[in-house]
Structure 1
Amino acid sequence: MSPLSLVAVSAGLSTPSSTRLLADRLAEAAREHLAEDTRPVQVTVLELRDLATDIASNLVTGFPGARLRAAIEAVTAADGLIAVSPIFSASYSGLFKSFFDVLDPDALAGTPVLIAATGGTARHSLALEHALRPLFAYLRAIVVPTAVYAASEDWGSAGDTRTGDLAARVTRAAGELAALMRDRPAAAPAAESVVPFEEQLAALRPEGN
């Protein structure tokens, strides 16, 4: 049995990066949920910072380099995706958006996606709902109900009674992603070729007419 493929995309810019840390925590939590099954899981974390030049070149030339092509193939072949961006000016980062701009518009159709973000203040948490969720809805991905936002004060805090602490949100969102990955239907069969209407009419005419 082939392993399930889980890919986490981190658009963090600094080293170390809270965005990468959140991506790692979400990926590990999802892996733990999926470990309850007998099917193995392969986890890959992509750092967009390392691909920034390749992404810019692709946007200008239309052709991905070898490293970017490998990253695109990993994302498009994934059974589940975790997408994490830092929030700048109340939205996802330019690097984050640029990477998903170079994907084929249909590449993520039907793919379970967990969206997450980091920022300096909780005031930017709604960027997940007005920016990231619409982006992946447009790409026809299946976005899990729980989005995870981690502000600076969330790391190590107890959170509140409505959302819980960061660890609880990570666990809940990862569980939702794991459930979708388990239940994801097999790829639909290739569409049959369309026969032009004129040919269909010709096939109905009696011979000799």
Structure 2
Amino acid sequence: MNGGAVRLVAVNGGLSEPSSTRMLIDRLTVAVTDALGEGERVVDVQVIDLRDLAVDLGRAMTVGFAPGQARAALDAVESADALIVASPVFNASYSGLFKMFFDLVDVDAMSGKPVLIAATGGSPRHSMVLDHALRPLFSYLRTVIVPTGVYAASEDWAGAESAGDGGLSGRIDRAASEFAELIRLRGSSREDSSRQPLRDDALHNGSPSAADVRQQTIEAAGIANFARLLGPS
């Protein structure tokens, strides 16, 4: 994070136009922006539509590196503070284009990054794609995944939603709240890390840490025990 700003990148794996997956991405980004806004954070949002990168991604799989717009999209994902990712369901998993894209990311750049996973499909029965496909993929990439994933079936767009958290709006709001909290926690952790060198400098200037004192105590006790084992000379 830079000066309190959050760089949020959303990856849309939808292939059609119009796309229900893009609709879900748009609703999620609004909900997350609102949730982060409560903490007066500035949010820079970028949406990447993978359908526009299909040719570049195909070339990348054959030549071993990402050209053109695909490279720019990968750079955006790798440098983001947090990600929203969504894919339509194809044969009980994410789309091939979605997989191609995340096959190219730098795993080290993804480590510890908060990720909100989402998917769309024709039937509520496909909702397990979140836990059986998307969650394992982003666990492998060493990201931190929001507990609540969001799945939207065709019926979620068809009419009035059910009341409470069971409806799509409730699921979106709950996921956005969890996601915002993860982002805040990661930001606080980075701020603490940035102050660590100052504390280290103070220690080097003559102020031993609690760990140093404990180590010295352990060493002194070890020497005393060894002396008792030797007995009187």
Is the 1:118–1:150 Cα contact (8 Å) retained in structure 2?
Answer: yes
Q: Offset of 1:74 from its aligned partner?
A: 0.8
Any idea what the Cα deviations from partners look like across 1:30-64, whole Å, max 9, x if unmatched?
A: 00011112331101110000001111111111121
Structure 1 residues 2, 65: closer, same or farther in 2, change over 3 A?
farther
What code does the residue aligned with 1:42 have? D
Unmatched tracts of structure 2, length 5 or more = 195-233
C-alpha distance in structure 1 between counterparts of 2:162 and 2:9, whole Å:
27
Q: Which residue does the alignment assign to 2:176?
A: 174
Of residues 59, 70, 73, the one that matches 2:72 is 70
The 5 A counterparts of 1:1-209 are 1=3, 3-155=5-157, 156-159=159-162, 164-184=166-186, 185-186=189-190
SS at match of 1:176: helix
Report % sequence identity: 55
What code does the residue aligned with 1:20 have? R
Q: Offset of 1:158 from its aligned partner?
A: 2.6
More helix by share: 2
Q: Offset of 1:174 from its aligned partner?
A: 0.9
If asked which structure has higher relative contact order (CA below 8 Å, sep 6+), I would say 1
TM-score, normalized by length of structure 2? 0.77
Is the 1:157–1:165 Cα contact (8 Å) retained in structure 2?
Answer: no
What code does the residue aligned with 2:161 have? A
Q: Offset of 1:160 from its aligned partner?
A: 7.3
Q: Offset of 1:2 from its aligned partner?
A: 5.1
Q: Number of paired residues?
A: 188
TM-align CA RMSD: 1.6
Please tell me whether Structure 1 or Structure 2 has the larger radius of gyration of its CA atoms.
2
